Amino acid sequence: MDSFLIKGGTPLHGTVAVSGAKNAVLPIMAATLLTSEPCVIRRVPNLSDVRFMAQILTWLGAEVSMKEGTVRVQARKIRGAGDYDLVRKMRGSICIMGPLLGRLKKAMVSLPGGCVIGARPINLHLKGFEALGAKVVIEAGYVQATAKRLVGSAMFLGGRSGSTVLGTANVMMAAVLAEGVTVIESAACEPEVVDLATFLNAMGARITGAGSPTMTITGVKELHGAEHEVIPDRIEAATYAIAAVATNGDVTIRGARPDHIHAILDKLKGAGARIDCTSDGLQVRRNGKLKPVDITTLPYSGFPTDAQAQMMALMTLTPGISIITERIFESRFMHVSELTRLGADIEIEGPSAIIKGGKPLSGAPVMASDLRASAALVIAGMAAKGTTQVNRVYHIDRGYENIDGKLRQLGARIERIEES
């Protein structure tokens, strides 16, 4: 397994470009299954998760080509069952279920995997499919959904931690080919959901209210091919912004969408960052001394759970006490033990992490447990004295395109150690 070797203490300076959003492109790739006509998706990041999704689409019978940030898919004839070993490796692969059910009126998909950050049940996905008239059975590790016909209905998709992003996407993709009108209450409002709706509407769907808690989908008989450019990755942009502040650097983030990361920028400003909008992104640097902040993760447009670990790395460097409360995933503090290896002082009390910051970090070997934890450890390693080795960076390759190369462009002393 590859690792990163980081020599810390160098401020980041320069310009970095944000890639397309991983959490947007996976459902959009799945949505190409809804038509037999060719679809073209641009600004697609070169990530292991994207390659996994391409393999899944190919297994289902689609013709897929990937070249220089553009993916072309044509799903003339497809099968209704996903490969067990492929689907179980990546949670995002569950989003093939909605398109298969919508087009074929049947779908069989293995229960998905992904990062180990707590329970992420798909009960709301299945609730939505059943509301459309599908019969759902879980057996031998597979989820099977079948329907003679799908009929639009009103449904509520709120859960214990708020709305479900993938669940909203999945039900939306099934509903576009259902008869009648579907109304989703407590729909996820994330920009990635809006981007999927934009692509589906370009294919001929009739979706209104995307980006609000109430989404209305009027079913159509068929969809056609379309072209689409994926939105920039807001979590990647946030990660580079946090890294700029953590290393006391000055970074311009090209392609960043301030309107997608208001909550993160607000907390960064509170922590002592100066943030200026540019013609095509953001410029981020420190504005005096670092200051502690309290954060609670919430569904969009609140502070995203996917930026929690990175902000914790910054707070370990900040004099004073910061409190981060995780309200989305109950096991998303697995990076805490690794940050303490670098010298951080963090205590866990229930859903909250209490960070007593300001002590200097020193390099050490650490182990990445999930995608965003990996990013947090890279940030901490760049700010620490000495050398940090971050192991198991296959996690970070799932969601950050060429992160080590981009950081080197900004002056970071980071090297990928390839292991057979």
Q: Which residues contact 249 (CB under 8 A, 6 or more apart)?
A: 11, 12, 13, 243, 285, 410, 411
The enclosing H or E element of 376 equals helix 371-383
Q: Which residues contact 214 (CB under 8 A, 6 or more apart)?
A: 183, 184, 185, 187
312 and 355 in contact (C-beta within 8 Å)?
yes
Cis peptide before 301 (omega within 30 of 0): yes
Amino acid at 221: K
Alpha helices by DSSP H, 60-214: 84-87, 97-104, 123-131, 165-175, 191-202
176 and 207 in contact (C-beta within 8 Å)?
yes
Amino acid at 188: A
Two tokens, residue 157: 């998709």
For residue 127, with 0-12 CB atoms within 10 Å meaning exposed, 13-18 middle and 19 or more buried, which class applies?
Answer: middle
Length in residues, the chain: 420
Nearest to 247 by CA among 314, 293, 307, 338: 314
Residues known to be catalytic: 115
DSSP string across 196-227: HHHHHHHTT-EEE-TTSSEEEEE--S-----E
253 and 409 in contact (C-beta within 8 Å)?
no
Q: How far is CA 99 from CA 90, 287, 370, 371, in A?
A: 17, 48, 28, 26
DSSP lists the bridge partners of residue 156 as: 185
For residue 203, with 0-12 CB atoms within 10 Å meaning exposed, 13-18 middle and 19 or more buried, which class applies?
Answer: buried
Amino acid at 30: A
Amino acid at 176: V
SS3 label, residue 172 = helix
